[in-house]
Structure 1
């Protein structure tokens, strides 16, 4: 072998060995973080459960911006409001993409907006959604929210032990109305059950260790399906999910074209499809992704509020005093919202105290950047640690205390708060940041106001008791696992305030019956929504 060829081969081997040795190490100039091990970096330290608590501990130890080396990938964790504002808001032009999530993308065939990389397809969908869910459009859907809330109240009277299911039906049904023009009238509806079970499984898959390994070590993707049970499972789940979303879409599309569907978001998707020419499959995922977001996050927030009322009865008392002062013997309406600053504080505090995405949705930076003297490499995953920011005692003294008076002088809407140049005046980060901020926040605010104000108006929330008569106190730090979280299931004692309140709640629901057909669907569009 010629000496020059031998030297080249030897140099190549040395280079490969050098590169392998660098895997798992934290390069010079990166933000600080936990000590690493060769090849795996910090993978061995990544928590399998209650990750929000571990990420909060790391923030306390390593500061407002730290790094985790995950095999071949880098994650930058932002745990301070100023850092999030500076990077994900002010530099949103390079921090608005998503990292590759192999199993998640495979499951939804690249059509799920929340997982899409920043690009033309994502911008087209976002523009379409903005036209459908802007603040003016969102006001028109209040009749749907009002109707569903009144059914929820009666469901809680009749079967309070199933409050989690009833709250989920409420949020799902108002979302199916807004999107597709039809109601979900029962917690036993097969499509309702499939949605929540399927979305829960989706978040588990995306947040699983198997998913992480396939993202961090792409060579593993070459293994056959029989050796990758999670990939096989993702394909099967994805097929069922696509069938659900496309069936919802086609049902609405056909109803719109035949003129029998009440006003809904899918009307605008039909128009957008005619202009942009995208497939029914993508249309199904556009509407299906909105269905996921509207159904799961609103219900999780309301369930968190119920837990807070059980743990903090003094807050419940103060909230009820305000509601009784404003409303007396009638249900609260959206017109009462400006006069109920304490209830507005309850909404903001619930979103802070029990965030539905405690670790946010991971962003990706599309080119090399530098901040605070540290390097942030192109392709790095960037996580904004919502839990860590919300539980920072410098930002919120006694952060695990549920205290709506934190917002006594905060009259901002969610959008105004997120857009405030002074990030210290932002109420919470539960609706996201930058160009990835939730576009349905206006609708969510109204759903939460009607839900929270009327629950407090009509019911008492107390701790349940075990067989021995001991009070059961929920652990507010124990959350479900996955991308979207809520309190671990807990029992509650929920009782109407009085027979008078029961009569009023049932009477309001009875009045709604004339607007519904025998299937409990709208006979025609609510008067305020007729064009």
Structure 2
């Protein structure tokens, strides 16, 4: 009996030891190690999870930056988040140490379930991402971007005419402008209606994906992986994410297959899908993956530019003196008898327009907290330990609204960029203390569409101001801080009175739109032929004569 009693005692001691060890490990969850960047006080198991805001997170992240400094940490259950709230720290970590910080964090709901692990913007860093990144660079680099101006010019002129006819649909018209430009470049065809079901579905799905990815339930699944194994009846967000993925995948694959079949039968026009098809032939990835590659570009090209133009018009309503100064410059350089062109921008003769582009992106950043990065290995920064797997946030709002960097930051003041002749890309890779905005990301994850976006914003801002006067609707209270969205944001819907500046300008707009239509098929509204000089690949699959069936 003594022997058995001894063994029993050892077993009990062992169990007790395991329990104590488990308790000790659990007690460490949520606790901030002493060598991490500072941050708000933590609770066991939760860390700072209980402090995470459910509404207007950018304001709380800005407040924490003011309290704990430009580099602080949040302990979120089992995960660590490092928040960068200064231009210098973003440059040092995300640009200069991009080899460490080019990854994305795991997103069980947003990427794995709702995107089938295929969405480019949140794709993990690796061979697949590098292959896609190289392919995208071939069509979006600065030399290629210049060749797409005919697309931008035509869609912008159609936008102006649409605002003459139905100004109450302003946001829909702006979205069609950016969406149709993107579909031409990516898929080889235009969007001819601002109520096209594919257009409406794209913005709806992207909005819902952002809300879902940023939801509390999605964060819990990432922070406590045990929640990923819950049965469906206990995880309705997973069921919803699967339905959203199905709808979105069907949309993107439908776009892709339309272009693929056109290339197969010889009717397709040169576009980015030529490059995707060639890569698919060599790499053998699925049509779903091809759809998401093209669909990710469609999202990026449609959403941010449209939201920025919408914010710019709101700024004109709130600061009419800006509109007056802008129109004065355009009238002096361009005159009343023609529309502004890219040549006016490239010549440097419209510096205030350039200032308005930069201030619009700064004043209303659409990607308000950036897209999170992740550390691929342990690092030390300013004496703090950054653990492998930590999420690293580019706190765009706090940087843009830093009063030391931008005095009176919530005032729309284009003159703050009056001595900055750089392009958006030059600014992004130049002196970080003078960088105009951080909307386009950083490091190897810098958005490659930045050159396209700048040209679209120039044509939008300069021609809208040349053609129209924008004024408030009497009796309406406007709030520039009322933002809607999640990962990406824009001003909440607002009314606007749009008035043509002169009858002669109306005639010029209608004539320009009519000339554009001579380039399009009367029945379909599609280009009769692609404008010369486009930078797309001309590769097409080998044509195989269909076999006759007996």
TM bin, normalised by shorter chain, reads: over 0.9
Query: Matches of residues 76-155 of structure 1 in structure 2 within 5 Å?
Result: 76-105=82-111, 106-155=113-162
Q: Determine the structure 2 residue equivalent to 1:360.
A: 370
Partner of 1:277: 284
Q: Distance in 1 between matches of 2:499 and 2:216?
A: 42
How far apart in 2 are the matches of 1:84 and 1:423? 8
- Write the mapping of 1:450-465 to structure 2, written as runs, cut at 5 A: 450-465=459-474
Match of 2:547 in 1: none
Partner of 1:508: 512
Deviation of the 1:53 alpha carbon: 1.1
- The yes-or-no answer on 1:31 pairing with 2:37 is yes
Please name the residue that 2:542 is paired with. Answer: none
2: CA distance, partners of 1:355 / 1:499: 35
Counterpart of 1:519 in structure 2 is 524
TM-score normalised by L of structure 2: 0.93
C-alpha deviations, 1:224-274, integer Å up to 9, x for none? Answer: 112111100000110111111011011112222333233311122122222
Deviation of the 1:321 alpha carbon? 0.9
Residues 272-327 of structure 1, C-alpha deviations (whole Å, 9 max, x = no match): 22232222211111000000000111101110111111111111111111111111
Q: Contact 2:31–2:44 at 8 Å: present in 1 too? A: yes
Tell me the distance in 2 between the aligned counterparts of 1:53 and 1:148. Answer: 36
Which is greater in Rg? 2
Q: Which deviations, in whole Å up to 9, do the C-alpha atoms of 1:459-511 show, x marking residues without a partner?
A: 1011112xxxx2x2421122113111111111111111121111111111011
Q: 1:332 aligns with which of 337, 340, 346?
A: 340
Secondary structure in 1 aligned to 2:489?
coil
**Contact 1:311 1:473 (8 Å CA) reproduced:** no
Question: Where does residue 212 of structure 1 map in the other structure?
Answer: 219
Aligned partner of residue 486 in structure 1, secondary structure: strand
Cα RMSD, aligned residues only: 1.3
Please name the residue that 1:443 is paired with.
Answer: 452
Q: Confirm whether residue 188 of structure 1 aligns to residue 203 of structure 2.
A: no
Does the aligned pair in 1 maintain the 2:144–2:534 contact within 8 Å? no
Contact 1:463/1:473 (8 A) holds in 2? no
Please point out which of 40, 48, 53 is paired with 2:46. 40
> 1:354-387 CA distances to partner (integer Å, 9 max, x unpaired)?
0111100011101111112211111111101000
Deviation per CA, 1:315-365: give whole Å up to 9, x if none: 111111111111112101111102111101100111111011110001110
Which piece of structure 1 moves more, 351-360 or 515-524?
515-524
Query: Which residue number in structure 1 is paired with residue 17 of structure 2?
Result: 11
Question: Partner residue of 2:482?
Answer: 478
Gaps of 5+ in 1: none
Q: Distance in 1 between matches of 2:116 and 2:358?
A: 35
Which among 413, 424, 434 is matched to residue 425 of structure 1? 434
Residues in 1 aligned to 2:242 and 2:425: alpha-carbon distance in whole angstroms: 37
User: Residue 483 of structure 1: SS of its match in structure 2?
Assistant: coil
Q: Give distance in 1, aligned partners of 2:227 and 2:533.
A: 56
Q: Distance in 2 between matches of 1:83 and 1:430?
A: 16
Structure 1 length-normalised TM: 0.97
Partner of 2:545: none
CA distance in 2, matches of 1:165, 1:487: 14
Q: What residue ranges of structure 2 are gaps of 5+ in the alignment?
A: 1-6, 539-550
